[in-house]
Structure 1
Amino acid sequence: MIRLFFLSLLLLVPAAPVLADGPRIEVTQPDFQFGSVFQGEKVEHVFEFRNAGDDPLLIDRVKSSCGCTAVLVSSKELAPGATGEVRATFDSTRFHGNVVKTIYVYTNDPNHKLVQLHLRGNVKEELQLSARSVTLGPVAAGQSVSTRVKLTNKGDQVAAIGPARTTAKEIKVDFPRRLLQPGETADIELTATAGSGKTVVSGYLLIPTDSPRLPELRIPLQLRITKSE
């Protein structure tokens, strides 16, 4: 009876975690779904991991893909059983739609020398432009060409936008500051006059907004000029 009592006590005691041979990285959640955010918002997340091996785990370096920054916030050397963290920040300003950002963690784990961590989600455009870039021409020197870009308020608040400007003197825009209601679309007209001596003119269309997430919209512009005979 006494032997059965002690056997029951042993069964109630939680077993200690078994450590694998050598260093071994074990990530709690390698994929983080951040859902939907408005363009311009930043997403922050901390990835947790531990050394499930019986030798020190060394973190050689941490790298990240475009639009994302990552930093190791714990020691580069983790003793067996110790835990570490990688803090990742994704800036959604230049992105839209479904995105996947990857963080690369390089270790001395012989079975996982490179570990990939992922931030996944959707970036919604509060102010949506009909074009990601605009090319005018080709047009002969001394001639003019025009085009339009549509801007739609996809948010649920009134947006103050403008006045718009361009960084290329050959490309003009006439768009004063105005209010854009939710669901409303505005036309932005661009007119370019080709000068001589150049075949390509590049610049940006800049549109200030009152959005705290996206204070300025930026579209690359290009004017192509035909060579004079």
Structure 2
Amino acid sequence: MMKKFILSMLSVLMIASVAYAQPKLEIIGGNSYDWGKVGPKDSPLKTKVKIKNTGNEQLLITNVKPSCGCTTAPLDKDKLAPGETATIDVSFNVGSNAGVNSKTIRITSNDPANSTTIFRLSADVEKAVVVSPAYFAFNQMEVGKEESSKISIKNTGKKPLTISNITKSPADLKLNLSGTKTLKPGESFDLVAKVTPTAPGYMNCWVKMKTDSVDEPEISISGYGSVKESPIFNNK
């Protein structure tokens, strides 16, 4: 009887040990990172995220997916033995974004208690000038018909901002600004671009200008549009 009892207890212990053998994903330092106040010159923002397997079985990281294309997050290894760590090299390109920017990284693993872990990133981007929207959007373009698009340029710095040395492409792109323009702190200006397409297809343009801002010495704005043939030219 005693022998059977001991064998039964050993079986129970073995089953229990198997049942509780599992991986566990833990992010060292917490599930978020804040760069605080940053400027355009700080871009791309970088940090390293350390992942540790605090369980007692192998941890398999099956996917690491940032919430947008402006963020990259390569992982140095995806299989972690108990107690082992891995590193995600995070890089965030702030681009034309201003103010508080929040992004996430979704980490998927074989952790049975938490198969998906969300790591949160944030940064308060301070810019001397904000362009909104970030590009010229030309809608319903037709051959031979002039179309226009407007963006707003705002001085979000604490000093006057002077814009000068404007260049553009194509050469026949018309702008309502050709010389210099000085914006007071908080002041904005609507830049209007006009173009008359000469052929159907995809149209793109760009405008570049210099500023006297140390942090943002140049503003570059792209423009896009799809041009269709004019009904006048089609009805021959």
One-letter amino acid matched to 1:103: I
Residue identity (%)? 21
The one of 187, 192, 195 aligned to 2:195: 192
Aligned to 2:27: 27
Give me the whole-angstrom Cα distance separating, in 1, the residues matched to 2:106 and 2:125: 22
Aligned to 2:156: 154
Segments of 5+ residues of structure 2 without an aligned counterpart are 1-19
Give me the whole-angstrom Cα distance separating, in 2, the residues matched to 1:191 and 1:21: 67
Asked whether the equivalents of residues 37 and 124 of structure 2 are also in contact (C-alpha less than 8 Å), the reply is yes
1:154 Cα offset (Å): 0.8
Give the 5 Å matches for 1:29-48.
29-39=30-40, 41-42=42-43, 43-48=45-50
1:99 aligns with 2:101: yes
Give me the whole-angstrom Cα distance separating, in 2, the residues matched to 1:109 and 1:116: 13
- Scaled by the length of structure 1, the TM-score of the pair is 0.68
- How many residues align structurally? 208
The secondary structure found in structure 1 opposite 2:120 is strand
Give me the whole-angstrom Cα distance separating, in 2, the residues matched to 1:61 and 1:147: 41
Deviations 1:68-122 (A, max 9, x none): 111235x443332233332312110143444332223333323333322121244
Asked whether the equivalents of residues 48 and 86 of structure 1 are also in contact (C-alpha less than 8 Å), the reply is yes
Closer, same or farther: CA 122–227 of 1 in aligned 2, 3 Å: farther
Aligned to 1:182: 185
One-letter amino acid matched to 1:90: F
Asked whether the equivalents of residues 96 and 124 of structure 1 are also in contact (C-alpha less than 8 Å), the reply is yes
Structure 1 vs Structure 2 CA RMSD: 3.5
1:199 Cα offset (Å): 7.1
Asked whether the equivalents of residues 192 and 223 of structure 1 are also in contact (C-alpha less than 8 Å), the reply is no
The secondary structure found in structure 2 opposite 1:205 is strand
Give me the whole-angstrom Cα distance separating, in 2, the residues matched to 1:69 and 1:139: 35
One-letter amino acid matched to 1:85: T
One-letter amino acid matched to 2:21: D
1:168 Cα offset (Å): 3.2
Segments of 5+ residues of structure 1 without an aligned counterpart are 1-19
1:227 aligns with 2:231: yes
Aligned to 1:3: none
- Scaled by the length of structure 2, the TM-score of the pair is 0.66
Give me the whole-angstrom Cα distance separating, in 2, the residues matched to 1:139 and 1:113: 48
1:221 Cα offset (Å): 4.3
Asked whether the equivalents of residues 40 and 214 of structure 1 are also in contact (C-alpha less than 8 Å), the reply is no
One-letter amino acid matched to 1:31: S
Closer, same or farther: CA 149–52 of 1 in aligned 2, 3 Å: closer
